[in-house]
């Protein structure tokens, strides 16, 4: 530590003190709070009083809060503003945190106290949330080896520590591959077809490197437009090969051994705990519950989508042949000719439409919709500390002007930020000693940053991405539960996407769009005919998109719903899973598994199906809004009270039925996606 420097993380803090801390402070604080957590656990186990819900379950629930705050801050920075020092600390501290978690869930004395409360729960007069908390904590012990022999518990400890490090390394490799790739283009005409903003950005990136020409990188605001609009097929091919071979090249960032090791360790762990495989272990605590139910769901979708996808692919292939004589459509052609076909069929020019989606206006329109639905008000907080100058912070108030949440918005790509978009927390919501502690919520995205010539303009897909993450944020902001581990988005992973995917629906509604879809130069509202084109094209190539999502879910289960012990070739195994449902020729240089961060770095292992599963929920839920009115106060109030506020306090299907009155039906999704058989029309 630097002499005389106060470590703000060792003091009680509400807002994260980003600018007043460094990596040394974080490391010191993590070690301090690890020790404090151990002391708190010891106080529970060493007390002389018999176990009660209050002195054991609640005490356990509220232990380690100091550690959780600092760990949340640290791992969020590792995703959104990482450095080599942060990555080194992540590698160093993750095994220690894993060991602490094991020391808690494998603590025999603690488990005996938890079991004591669990076994007499019927006599305790617990409410629904308390019962849920008790069940969750009891299962966190049994599902992490509390009933195992000491020898097997040691194996669990070893596996968990190794998995924690492997997952971090996997993510570091993918980020390094993203940052390392550079494609310099000298002649501007080779960029024909690309939007002006992308060309200007490429020019600036080259200048920043001291070069004359244009620099293309793999960040999403560059990569996706290249795939959609670049007329130069060779550029599309080079970009596609680079993106789809992340973690698969013969270099220090290769993830093949890590994929094999993670899948085998997860299987070993599941078997030690008495499960057939990792998927069975995971699905026990999911809305779907059983592998057979997930597989049936995916196969039903596949059955409906495959014939439609085949026809749609044929249309794209015919256009490629007709326009450019391409005999065999490749992966780097699909986006490009799909976009051409969309423009031809709907006269929808995405680049023209972008002019109506200026980022700041979209954000404030989104706030306006949240205000109409849930009474929320967003006021910029210019004094709040932030981890990067581009982050915007808001205070969020409810309709009674009570503080509801602190909200961070981080919207543009940087070298220290991983790709994609996500919602996260810097502080959980909970109620303790009569005080409702409100959450600190963050959305992180990678949208094109403004230039000297124009503001940040979003594609319609980016608009829906922002609304999606905002739906997650609303789930966190509106949380109103007693216990932090049941709060907000702390729900089953196949339920967590309902609020986010539901929120996307407002992007297609005129009454919502007219709040923010205005031309950034003229102020003109998005013309009705353009809105109709967006709506008409919403299901464009939905068959192909559905097959894509199902194939990812199948790949996930292909690693986790089997015994992977004999797999020694990642690419070969992946190809065998994709082969029955692949629409385009395989590319030997490509491998998805080695950059499939959702399942090997994030929390979606055995859960990627959740995106399609939640589409059924959101289609069914929005059908009620459509029926009663998209801003219907009664429906919005019911969704807020039965879904958003309740978090994980009840079984998700029960919560959904309270909102909707019945279980969700697949029909709503099939109809919306245009995947219903002709005879069903």
Tell me the β-bridge partners of 442: 408, 424
DSSP type of residue 552: H
Question: HSE (CB half, 13 Å, CA atoms) of 147?
Answer: 9
**Per-residue tokens: 599:** 């399942």
Contact 621, 659 (CB under 8 A): yes
DSSP type of residue 664: -
Distance CA(377)–CA(101), nearest Å, equals 38
Contact 226, 198 (CB under 8 A): yes
Contact 226, 235 (CB under 8 A): yes
- Find the length of the chain: 681
**Per-residue tokens: 465:** 């991405």
Q: How far is CA 249 from CA 253, 523, 588, in A?
A: 7, 48, 11
Contact 178, 246 (CB under 8 A): yes
DSSP string, 50-100: PP-IIIIIIHHHTTTHHHHHHHHHHHHHHHHS--HHHHHHHHHHHHHHHHH
Tell me the β-bridge partners of 215: 184
Cα(first)–Cα(last) distance of the chain, in Å?
A: 70
Contact 612, 297 (CB under 8 A): yes
Buried b (16+ CB within 10 A) or exposed e, 84-107: eebbebbeebbbebbebbbebbbb
Please identify which residue in the block is written with the tokens 């009454």: 511
Cβ burial, residue 176 (10 Å; 0-12/13-18/19+) = middle
Distance CA(619)–CA(672), nearest Å, equals 7
Question: HSE (CB half, 13 Å, CA atoms) of 487?
Answer: 26
Rounded (5°) CA angle 656-552-599 = 80
Question: Pairing state of beta strands 403-410 and 440-444?
Answer: parallel
Which of these is catalytic: 350, 469, 497, 504? 469
Distance CA(626)–CA(622), nearest Å, equals 6
Q: How far is CA 481 from CA 74, 436, 489, 648, in A?
A: 25, 9, 11, 9
469 counts as catalytic: yes
Distance CA(29)–CA(67), nearest Å, equals 8
Residues acting as catalytic residues: 469
């Amino acid at each position: 530590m630097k002499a005389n420097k106060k470590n703000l993380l060792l003091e009680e803090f509400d807002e994260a003190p980003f600018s007043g801390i460094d990596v040394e402070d974080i490391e010191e604080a993590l070690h301090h709070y690890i020790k404090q957590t151990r002391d708190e656990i010891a106080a529970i186990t060493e007390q002389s009083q018999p176990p009660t819900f209050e002195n054991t379950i609640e005490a356990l629930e509220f232990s380690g809060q100091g550690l959780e705050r600092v760990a949340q801050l640290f791992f969020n920075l590792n995703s959104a503003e990482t450095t080599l020092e942060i990555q080194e600390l992540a590698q160093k501290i993750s095994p220690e945190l894993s060991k602490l978690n094991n020391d808690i869930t494998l603590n025999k004395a603690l488990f005996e106290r938890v079991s004591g409360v669990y076994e007499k729960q019927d006599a305790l007069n617990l409410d629904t949330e308390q019962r849920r908390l008790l069940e969750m904590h009891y299962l966190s012990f049994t599902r992490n080896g509390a009933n195992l022999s000491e020898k097997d518990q040691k194996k669990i400890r070893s596996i968990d520590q190794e998995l924690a490090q492997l997952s971090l390394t996997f993510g570091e490799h993918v980020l390094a591959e993203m940052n390392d790739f550079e494609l310099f283009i000298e002649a501007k005409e080779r960029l024909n077809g690309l939007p002006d903003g992308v060309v200007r950005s490429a020019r600036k990136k080259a200048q920043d490197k001291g070069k004359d020409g244009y620099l293309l990188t793999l960040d999403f605001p560059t990569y996706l437009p290249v795939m959609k609009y670049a007329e130069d097929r060779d550029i599309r091919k080079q970009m596609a090969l680079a993106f789809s071979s992340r973690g698969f090249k013969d270099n220090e960032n290769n993830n093949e051994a890590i994929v094999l090791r993670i899948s085998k360790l997860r299987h070993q762990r599941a078997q030690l705990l008495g499960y057939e495989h990792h998927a069975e272990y995971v699905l026990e605590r999911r809305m779907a519950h059983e592998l057979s139910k997930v597989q049936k769901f995916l196969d039903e979708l596949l059955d409906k989508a495959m014939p439609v996808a085949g026809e749609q692919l044929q249309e794209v292939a015919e256009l490629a042949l007709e326009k450019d004589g391409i005999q065999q459509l490749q992966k780097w052609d699909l986006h490009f000719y799909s976009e051409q076909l969309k423009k031809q069929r709907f006269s929808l020019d995405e680049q023209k439409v972008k002019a109506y989606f200026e980022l700041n206006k979209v954000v404030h329109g989104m706030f306006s919709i949240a205000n109409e639905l849930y009474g929320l008000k967003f006021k910029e907080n210019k004094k709040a500390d932030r981890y990067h100058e581009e982050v915007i912070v808001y205070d969020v108030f409810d309709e009674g002007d009570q503080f509801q949440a602190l909200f961070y918005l981080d919207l543009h790509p940087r070298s220290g930020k991983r790709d994609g978009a996500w919602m996260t927390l810097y502080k959980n919501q909970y109620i303790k000693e009569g005080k409702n502690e409100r959450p600190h919520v963050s959305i992180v995205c990678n949208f094109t940053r403004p230039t000297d010539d124009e503001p940040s303009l979003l594609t319609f897909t980016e608009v829906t991405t922002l609304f999606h993450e905002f739906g997650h944020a609303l789930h966190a902001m509106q949380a109103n539960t007693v216990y932090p581990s049941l709060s907000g988005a702390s729900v089953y992973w196949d339920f967590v996407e309902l609020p986010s995917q539901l929120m996307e629906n407002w992007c297609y509604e005129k009454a919502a769009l007219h709040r923010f879809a205005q031309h950034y130069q003229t102020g003109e509202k998005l013309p009705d005919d353009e809105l109709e084109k967006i709506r008409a094209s919403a299901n464009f190539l939905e068959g192909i998109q559905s097959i894509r999502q199902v194939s990812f879910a199948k790949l996930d289960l292909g690693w986790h719903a089997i015994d992977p012990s004999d797999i020694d070739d990642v690419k070969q195994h992946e190809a065998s899973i994709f082969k029955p449902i692949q629409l385009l020729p395989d590319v030997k240089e490509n491998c998805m598994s080695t950059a499939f961060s959702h399942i090997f770095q994030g929390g979606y292992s055995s859960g990627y199906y959740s995106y399609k599963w939640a589409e059924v929920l959101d289609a069914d839920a929005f059908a009620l809004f459509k029926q009663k009115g998209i801003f219907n106060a009664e429906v919005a109030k019911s969704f807020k009270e039965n879904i958003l506020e309740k978090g994980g306090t009840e079984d998700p299907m029960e919560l959904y039925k309270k909102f909707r009155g019945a279980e969700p039906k697949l029909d709503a999704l099939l109809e919306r996606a245009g995947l219903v058989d002709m005879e069903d029309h």
